[in-house]
Chain A
């Protein structure tokens, strides 16, 4: 690939250290150990992930061409990533033609400054927001607040998270870690004028949020959104949502500012046919989401009369230059991989320390923000936050091979780390296993481990770094004899001969199903 791909400097920058929400404060194992202690979180995640898994399986199984759709989704995204510069320029031209204004933001700081400037120009001190991963990634709300501008999240779960001064823990269900009693208390404390007798019945909670938000929709003249898709061919932007708050934000205010990651561009309008099937079925497990808003620039007399599109890089060009990152950029943020991930199910989204949690986050976050293993960067621990069980790959609507990407990222990490105790151990293990004589000697040495075992043949305590294993698991003591020793013994030869003799030529085993 050309290193001057987007007219960027030779080494395209990752998202700068310390900016935005692409890096946690603790490594994954530390943060996960903390989150594992949260019983409410575990119970909520257990229930929610199972419900949504079942729904997703039902609505994907009913489509005879689901696998073809996935292949089509992957093909369109691969094409888009391969033609990104040209498609983005086409998108810019079409949006401009339709009366919008396009801005380019290299990183979080530039994007935040741009949006702040645009809001300030309207004279408003408030904005209403459609749930958006891109603005979460750059920490837009926090930046606006520091500039004296209040951002009101209008998605119910985002509102809960915002009112509680919390962070989202799921791409699609940001408040998955809260229960309704907690939500009742948050509303009572933070929504002005809420009925003090508010019950924790979901309908009542929703009604309280609705009344609060309705007033914002009617009075705030500026909205900020993200975008699920941007169509290069027509300059059309799209937001897919469930609650109708997005439709309000995208149609009522005078000014609309959309922050879109540059990887969201699709070549053709017709590509929506594929993605509007893949996305809702994969994310909420619905055949179709309730609200799909499409807009192209400005329509005089109808909807926002001032439209700005901020195209956000923030590490994406750097990711594009890497084969792993390029595949990860195909992600359409459906969150199916989170919902099927056994690790995510136990630890929740906060353990990943990034706007993008779960399996895809473990790939995407290090790609966007880089890893600095020498600084004990939490992002360097993310590629290891997986058992490589592969459930994410099966679920991904654009067929991102997340386990293989994680293995590749681990390789990149070890290549950068240079000398480490682990590398030495791996080298030593390979040196022994690469030499059969040494290997059999080591096997005999391992048998000495029998001494460490109790009378029941179990080892219940190992020293670091293996102590984590024996926190919860025994190890069976090494056997008296390895397989190869048995195989070479008279006993082994006799047993194999006896087994072979059991097979008379006439007993081809019949296939039998019971």
Chain B
């Protein structure tokens, strides 16, 4: 298949390792990666903060970049960006777009997948040949869990990783407190939520806390870093991309 890779603005700019891992993983599974070079941002931050007129050009750009019928599926390593494409792009297009935008949005949304959905639902793969001999705990991000309903797909992928010591995170389904601009507008409440998440992660003794969304990982990782925790964050894609021949090597973050 020809797979359109959407890096997400956050992944492209701040967390390229997660996007790189997604690209390498999909290529390793035998599919062609297409990276439309003019892609930017899905507009999730705008819509979630209350701005729906401003992201119209972003929604249009997304639909144009990935509208090419030769792209079989659009994959992104972010549950919340998929949630935005699926639920918010149609909303913005209906309200502030034209007929062309509405049909463009509808066509792209139906072939857009979060990474674990793509692997399990589209490729029917749970064992992707990964090797990751570390103790790992998984945080199911809210938008993956409840907006997309990915269920246990990420866990099924992780359980099939060779060498992994997967340990359950207590109160895993509780929000980490990120919520986009919530973490800034309601920083004190966000911090209270984050503290509890960090405590639960600490109780697992995991070396790595993983998730399917770099934004939540940025929040959790920022907290873990501040308290000098021994646990680090890693995107699900980075674990699934690691193999015996090409084991996980921290690139950007240890320099």
A interface, CB within 8 angstroms of B: 28-29, 32-33, 36, 42, 342-343, 346-347, 383-391, 393-394, 403-404, 407, 409-414, 422-423, 426-427, 429-431, 433-434, 436, 439, 443, 446, 457-458, 460, 465-466, 468-469, 471-476, 478-484, 486-488, 492, 495-496, 499-500, 502-503, 505, 507, 509-514
Q: For chain B, which range describes its interface: under 10, 10 to 19, 20 to 34, or 35 or more residues?
A: 35 or more
Which residue of chain B lies nearest to A464 when distances are taken between CB atoms in the complex? B184
- Quick one: closest A residue to B223, CB to CB? A473
Q: Are A476 and B253 in contact (CB under 8 A)?
A: yes
Considering the complex, which residues of chain B in the window 9-51 have a beta carbon less than 8 Å from any beta carbon of chain A? Answer: 9, 11-17, 19-20, 23-25, 27-30, 32-33, 35, 37-41, 43, 45-51
Complex interface: chain A residues within 8 A of B146 (CB)? 389-391, 393-394
Would you mind naming 17 contact pairs between A and B with Cβ atoms under 8 Å apart?
A29-B185, A342-B174, A347-B192, A384-B182, A390-B145, A391-B142, A391-B175, A407-B50, A423-B51, A430-B57, A434-B58, A473-B226, A476-B221, A484-B35, A499-B28, A503-B29, A514-B160
Contact of B127 among A383, A474, A481, A511 (CB under 8 A): A511
Q: Tell me, in angstroms, the Cα distance from A492 to B251 when the chains sit together.
A: 14
Contact of B160 (CB < 8 Å), options: A42, A434, A513: A513
A267 to B134, CA, bound (A): 59
B50 near A474 with CB under 8 A, answer: no
Residues of A within 8 A of B128 (CB): 509
Further contacts, 15 of them, CB under 8 A, given A391-B142, A457-B255, A499-B25: A29-B186, A342-B193, A384-B181, A387-B177, A387-B182, A387-B190, A388-B182, A412-B50, A430-B54, A434-B58, A446-B14, A483-B7, A492-B20, A503-B27, A511-B125
Tell me if B38 and A446 are in contact (CB < 8 A). Answer: no
Residues A346 and B13 in contact, CB atoms below 8 Å apart: no
- Given the contacts A343-B189, A430-B57, A496 and B13 also touching, CB distance less than 8 Å: no
- For B173, give the chain A residue with the smallest CB separation: A391
B222 engages A513 (CB within 8 Å): no
Q: Given A36-B188, A422-B49, A499–B222 Cβ distance below 8 Å?
A: no
Determine whether the beta carbon of B49 is less than 8 Å from that of A410.
Answer: yes
- Asked whether, in the complex, the Cβ of A389 is within 8 Å of the Cβ of B160, the reply is no
Asked if B107 is at the interface of the complex by the 8 Å CB criterion, the answer is: no
Is there a chain A Cβ closer than 8 Å to B71's Cβ?
Answer: no
- B231 to A: closest C-beta gap in Å: 14
Nearest residue in A to B128 (C-beta to C-beta)? A509
Within the complex, what minimum Cβ distance (angstroms) separates A247 from chain B? 38
Kindly list chain B residues whose C-beta atoms are within 8 Å of the C-beta of A390: 142-143, 145-147
Cross-interface CB contact of B30 among A346, A423, A427, A500, cutoff 8 Å: A500
Minimum CB–CB distance for A186 against chain B, Å: 27
